[in-house]
């Protein structure tokens, strides 16, 4: 029996939120700011959705291929059916014969991996052998904005209203969003800083926190 329940693999696993909303796009267009957040009605340049990464990146998620279609890197929501259903950017250089842990059913092949490569804003290109997520043990990265001692000033009600506003718009392409510790976290494929700057100008600093599914690596 298929269980068509949407879950956000990275949002829940990496950021520990119980209130994750998977979205297809986000940002505000109504010119409203979160209450008490010092928002700006006329923000500056809207960030492009296809922001390339200047160097190598690593991502964690489901790699999936339907028969006759391109391999995709699902960095956001995954439908827990069998086989799973998800979408994401094309992943180039993928070879199922070179990886372990893949499953196939009903014309779909998939597995969960940590993958290092490059991101040109549209296509993720594999540059190193993928690692099964079950075997991947990265060094923990502590997010200072999840520290209770560094809580934001926005209330849950303000953040819920802002989240609904962002969910209904498509200025910044987002994978998911969730309120936590006085902030609204927005999960995107990759941000070079322009999406964070956009939200800071629109709503004021320390209201929205943008987090990238593809993490920059030092060369």
pTM: 0.79
Distance CA 126, CA 118 (A): 7
Lowest-pLDDT choice from 16-30, 73-87, 161-175 = 16-30
pLDDT band at 129 (very low <50, low <70, confident <90, very high): very high
DSSP states along 12-55: HHHH--SS-EE-S-B---S----TTS---SS-SPPPPS-PPPSS
Nearest to 106, CA basis, from 77, 85, 79 = 85
pLDDT digit string, tens, across residues 92-116: 999 999 999 999 999 999 999 999 9
- What are the Cα distances from residue 76, in Å, to 8, 16, 125, 173? 5, 14, 18, 12
Assess whether pLDDT exceeds 50 at residue 27: no
Report which of 175, 172, 166, 174 is spatially closest to residue 78, judged by C-alpha positions.
Answer: 175
How large a percentage of the chain has pLDDT more than 90? 67
> In this structure, are residues 174 and 210 in contact, taking their beta carbons and an 8 Å threshold?
no
Average per-residue pLDDT in the chain? 82
- Integer Cα distance of 172 and 209 in angstroms: 13
């Amino acid at each position: 029996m298929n269980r068509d329940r949407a879950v956000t693999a990275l949002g829940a696993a990496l950021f520990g939120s119980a209130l994750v909303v998977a979205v297809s796009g986000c940002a505000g267009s109504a010119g409203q700011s979160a209450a008490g957040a010092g928002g700006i009605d006329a923000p500056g340049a809207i960030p492009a959705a296809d922001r390339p990464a200047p160097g190598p990146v690593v991502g964690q998620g489901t790699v999936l291929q339907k028969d006759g279609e391109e391999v995709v890197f699902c960095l956001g929501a995954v439908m827990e059916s069998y086989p799973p259903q998800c979408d994401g950017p094309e992943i180039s250089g993928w070879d199922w014969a070179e990886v372990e842990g893949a499953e196939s059913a009903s014309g779909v092949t998939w597995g969960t991996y940590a993958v290092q490569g490059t991101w040109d804003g549209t296509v993720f290109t594999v540059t190193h052998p993928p690692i099964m997520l079950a075997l991947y043990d990265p060094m923990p990265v502590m997010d200072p904005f999840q520290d209770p001692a560094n809580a934001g000033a926005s209330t849950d009600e303000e953040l819920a209203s802002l989240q609904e506003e962002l969910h209904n718009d498509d200025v910044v392409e987002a994978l998911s969003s969730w309120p936590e510790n006085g902030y609204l976290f927005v999960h995107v494929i990759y941000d070079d800083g322009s999406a964070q700057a956009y939200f800071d100008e629109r709503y004021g600093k320390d209201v929205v926190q943008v987090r990238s599914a593809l993490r920059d690596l030092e060369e």
